[in-house]
Amino acid sequence: MENETKKPVQTFREGAVGVSVWKRNGKNGEFFEYTLSRSYKKSEEEAGYAQSFREDNEQALVSVVGQAAAFIREQNEKEKEQAA
């Protein structure tokens, strides 16, 4: 069973911190989950991404996780309404 999608269904950013929301298929059906990343510059021309964070990323992390969770709740409600 394919569990990965090629692109996130939604992305939220706050400064260097981002969260991507993914729609997945599991053995119990479809579900949403999110991944976190922090961007940084490798060089003038090239960006990199890390899954580790610094103390000063706290507020951005709280913000983007809250946005992702709210988006997922909204999508789940829409799906429940469509199924009814």
The pTM assigned to this predicted structure is 0.85
Tell me the pLDDT tens digit for each residue of 22-78: 999 999 999 999 999 999 998 989 999 999 999 999 999 999 999 999 999 999 999
Residue 80 has pLDDT above 80, yes or no: yes
Sorted by sequence, the CB contacts under 8 Å of residue 37 that are 6+ apart come out as: 17, 18, 19, 20, 49, 50, 51
CB contact set of 43 (below 8 Å; sequence gap of 6+): none
pLDDT of residue 6: 84
pLDDT band at 1 (very low <50, low <70, confident <90, very high): very low
pLDDT recorded at residue 4 = 54
